[in-house]
Amino acid sequence: MSGGDSGSSPAAHGLAPAPAPIYSPGDTFVYDDSGTVTTERVVSTSPDRVVWTNDQGLIWTKDTAVVTPPLMWSDDPELGRGRQTLIGSPHQLFPLQEGNVIAYSVRGSSENAPAGWQDEHRCVVAGQEAVEVKAGRFDTFRIDCQRKDYRDTYFYSPSVQNYVLRDRQIGDRTTRKELVSADLASSRADAQPGAAPTPPVETAPMTAPHAPMPTIGEDGTMMPAPGEHQPGMMMEGEDGKAMTLVSRLENVVTRLERLAGVESGQDKMAKPAASPSAGGNWAVHLASYRSQKGATDGWKTLQRRFPQLKDKTMRTSEFDSGRGRGTYTRLLAAGFASEAEAKDFCRPLVAKGQFCQAKGPLP
């Protein structure tokens, strides 16, 4: 699919109420996200879950409500592996029609954000609009979503079974993610507007992942839940072949990232809490928190656990993890002369289960 719906009207008013999208393995969507082109592809589906991957090697699991954040993700340059629970009934947004409103909570944790987080989300179907993107012109439903200082506006096209445009405003900064092309692996004729609207999905599968949430240890670090399948954090009950494929993809990506030394390009270093030590301008990333206070408390906890941190300097930086999870504070231990020295410092910490990754040179 390389073009949009026909019509030149400034706003669309003829769409029938649209049921939730139906995804199939192989569905592929190419987006331009503020100048970065990325390909997102469906790996596998179940009645209430969709497993996705992209050309950057990330793997994540979502429901089908379009506007909701990931339930699980295999890796993140900052947060590491993690998962979230949706509390509420996001699927009551469907069938889409003007005036529909949902409110729900998201509770999550990840291996590098030991304190976890909880956010309140609210979305409303604001109406219908015709929008022009790189893939063409589409008649869409406009969905406005708000949480804290984030405001996302999705333009969902029933013919594409996905959003064709997402405008995101974070404070005074705005980003635009628009569809370049879409390739549906099979026909969705039955899912087009005009079909009988589907009732809201029962909320029981939505309130918790198939596997239990990780827990936070006494030292403040995230511990795997009992019986958790670590290699891909995939859900029990997924199709066996799909699990194998995703696990292989994740293992390959992890090896490539380690070889390439992948770093996040979204970092915005904050001013140091204190002057860096004379040791140098390299640091190690130890954990991520929702606030500066959380990072300060975490630093004290880690210093008690690892005495070798006593002569290091605490530094923090803020980063946006992307995919709607919000802003975090990264905790760094500064004072290393080189990347090699920082990596050597990390080895005994990693051996004891502590996340540790070299970062630098610092500004």
Return the CATH number at 237. 2.40.360
Average pLDDT over the chain, rounded to an integer: 77
pLDDT at position 116, please? 87
Q: How many CB atoms lie within 10 A of CB 310?
A: 8
| Contact partners, residue 176, CB within 8 Å, separation at least 6 | 33, 34, 165, 166, 167, 168
Which structural domain, as residue segments, surrounds residue 66?
A: 28-195+205-218+233-244
Question: Within this chain, do residues 64 and 213 fall inside the same structural domain, yes or no?
Answer: yes
Question: Within this chain, do residues 318 and 350 fall inside the same structural domain, yes or no?
Answer: yes
Question: Within this chain, do residues 127 and 274 fall inside the same structural domain, yes or no?
Answer: no
Token pair 């629970």: residue: 85
pLDDT at position 265, please? 37
pLDDT digits (tens, 9 = 90+) for 285-300: 998 887 888 889 889 9
> Which run of H or E residues covers position 360?
none
Residue 259 lies in a domain: no
pLDDT at position 41, please? 95
Question: Within this chain, do residues 239 and 280 fall inside the same structural domain, yes or no?
Answer: no
| Contact partners, residue 13, CB within 8 Å, separation at least 6 | 128
Question: Within this chain, do residues 309 and 210 fall inside the same structural domain, yes or no?
Answer: no
Question: Within this chain, do residues 315 and 210 fall inside the same structural domain, yes or no?
Answer: no
Question: Within this chain, do residues 125 and 182 fall inside the same structural domain, yes or no?
Answer: yes
Q: Is 70 exposed, middle or buried (0-12, 13-18, 19+ CB in 10 A)?
A: buried
Residue 338 lies in a domain: yes
Token pair 């020295």: residue: 341
Task: Report how far residue 272's alpha carbon sits from residue 362's, in angstroms, rounded to the nearest whole number.
Answer: 10
Residue 353 lies in a domain: yes
Residue 86 lies in a domain: yes
- Tokens linked to 249: 């993809």
Residue 330 sits in a domain of what CATH number? 3.30.70.1070
pLDDT at position 280, please? 87
Residue 260 lies in a domain: no
pLDDT at position 294, please? 84
Question: Within this chain, do residues 177 and 68 fall inside the same structural domain, yes or no?
Answer: yes
Residue 228 lies in a domain: no
Question: Within this chain, do residues 238 and 277 fall inside the same structural domain, yes or no?
Answer: no
Question: Within this chain, do residues 212 and 289 fall inside the same structural domain, yes or no?
Answer: no
Question: Within this chain, do residues 275 and 337 fall inside the same structural domain, yes or no?
Answer: yes
Contact 213, 83 (CB under 8 A): yes
Number of domains in the chain: 2
Instruction: Report which of 361, 357, 349, 219 is spatially closest to residue 285, judged by C-alpha positions.
Output: 357
Residues of the chain with pLDDT under 50: 2-10, 12, 193-244, 246-247, 250, 253, 257, 260-277
3-state DSSP assignment of residue 171: coil
pLDDT at position 299, please? 92
pLDDT at position 329, please? 87
pLDDT at position 113, please? 84
User: Taking the alpha carbons of 231, 237, 239, 240 in that order, is the dihedral positive or negative?
Assistant: positive
Residue 224 lies in a domain: no
Question: Within this chain, do residues 209 and 355 fall inside the same structural domain, yes or no?
Answer: no
